[in-house]
Amino acid sequence: MSADTADSTTQVATRLFVGGRWRDGRAGRIPVTDPGNGRTIGTVEQADERDVADALDAAAAAFRAWSTTVPAQRGAILKKAATLLGSRAEEVATTLMLEAGKTRAEARGEIQRAVDTLEWNGEQAARVEGRVIGGAAAGSRRYSVPTPLGVVAAFTAWNFPAVLGARKLGGTLAAGCTVVLKAAESAPGTAAAIVQALVDAGLPDGVVNLVFGDPPAVSAQLLGSPVVKAVTFTGSTAVGKQLATLAASRLIRGVFELGGHAPVLVCEDADVDSVVAVTSPAKFGSAGQSCVAPSRYLVHRSLYDAFASRLTEHASSLRLGHGSDPATTMGALVHQGRVDAMLRLTQDAVGRGARLLCGGRQPERDGFYFEPTVLADVPHDADLMSEEPFGPIAAVVPFDDFDEAVELANAPEYAFAAYVFTDSIARREIAVERLKASNIGINQMAPSLPDAPLGGLDASGYGYEGGAEGVLSFTQLRLVSQSAPTR
The CATH number given to whatever domain includes residue 383 is 3.40.309.10
User: Could you tell me if 55 and 153 lie in one domain?
Assistant: yes
User: Could you tell me if 48 and 67 lie in one domain?
Assistant: yes
Q: What percent of the chain has pLDDT over 70?
A: 98
What's the whole-number mean pLDDT along residues 175-191?
98
What's the whole-number mean pLDDT along residues 345-356?
98
- Per DSSP bridges, beta strands 140-148 and 151-155 are unpaired
Q: One of 177, 267, 291, 358 is an active-site residue; which one? A: 291
The pLDDT score that the predictor gives to residue 6 is 37
For helices 71-87 and 161-175, the axis angle rounded to 10 degrees is: 160
Tell me whether residue 257 is one of the annotated catalytic residues: yes
What's the whole-number mean pLDDT along residues 453-459?
94
User: Could you tell me if 180 and 215 lie in one domain?
Assistant: yes
Residue 452 is assigned to a structural domain of this protein: no
The string of pLDDT tens digits covering residues 104-126 is 999 999 999 999 999 999 999 99
Q: Is the confidence at residue 33, as pLDDT, over 60?
A: yes
User: Could you tell me if 243 and 282 lie in one domain?
Assistant: no
User: Could you tell me if 325 and 360 lie in one domain?
Assistant: yes
HSE value, Cβ hemisphere, 13 Å, CA-based, for 5: 10
The pLDDT score that the predictor gives to residue 487 is 67
For helices 49-67 and 215-224, the axis angle rounded to 10 degrees is: 40
Task: Say how far apart CA 147 and CA 131 lie, in whole Å.
Answer: 13
User: Could you tell me if 239 and 280 lie in one domain?
Assistant: no
The pLDDT score that the predictor gives to residue 447 is 85
Q: Which domain holds residue 407?
A: 262-442
Residue 55 belongs to domain with CATH number: 3.40.605.10
User: Could you tell me if 306 and 170 lie in one domain?
Assistant: no
Residue 195 is assigned to a structural domain of this protein: yes
The pLDDT score that the predictor gives to residue 396 is 98
At 135, give phi and psi (nearest 5°): -75, 160
Residue 406 is assigned to a structural domain of this protein: yes
Residue 28 is assigned to a structural domain of this protein: yes
Which residues contact residue 162 at a Cβ distance below 8 angstroms, ignoring those fewer than 6 apart?
92, 96, 110, 111, 113, 114, 190, 193, 194
User: Could you tell me if 107 and 182 lie in one domain?
Assistant: yes
Task: Say how far apart CA 35 and CA 392 lie, in whole Å.
Answer: 15
What's the whole-number mean pLDDT along residues 36-57?
97
Residue 200 is assigned to a structural domain of this protein: yes
Give the confidence band of 484 by pLDDT, cuts at 50, 70, 90.
Answer: confident
The pLDDT score that the predictor gives to residue 12 is 78
Residue 372 is assigned to a structural domain of this protein: yes
Residue 6 is assigned to a structural domain of this protein: no
The string of pLDDT tens digits covering residues 238-290 is 999 999 999 999 999 999 999 999 999 999 999 999 999 999 999 999 999 99
The string of pLDDT tens digits covering residues 296-342 is 999 999 999 999 999 999 999 999 999 999 999 999 999 999 999 99
- Number of structural domains (the chain) is 2
The pLDDT score that the predictor gives to residue 10 is 55
User: Could you tell me if 285 and 163 lie in one domain?
Assistant: no
The pLDDT score that the predictor gives to residue 472 is 96
The string of pLDDT tens digits covering residues 150-160 is 999 999 999 99
> Quick one: DSSP state of residue 204?
P
The string of pLDDT tens digits covering residues 388-422 is 999 999 999 999 999 999 999 999 999 999 999 99
User: Could you tell me if 427 and 359 lie in one domain?
Assistant: yes
User: Could you tell me if 86 and 159 lie in one domain?
Assistant: yes
Tell me whether residue 404 is one of the annotated catalytic residues: no
The pLDDT score that the predictor gives to residue 137 is 85
Q: One of 99, 106, 110, 257 is an active-site residue; which one? A: 257
HSE value, Cβ hemisphere, 13 Å, CA-based, for 106: 29
Contact between 124 and 468 (Cβ < 8 Å) = yes
User: Could you tell me if 186 and 116 lie in one domain?
Assistant: yes
Residue 286 is assigned to a structural domain of this protein: yes
Contact between 331 and 103 (Cβ < 8 Å) = yes
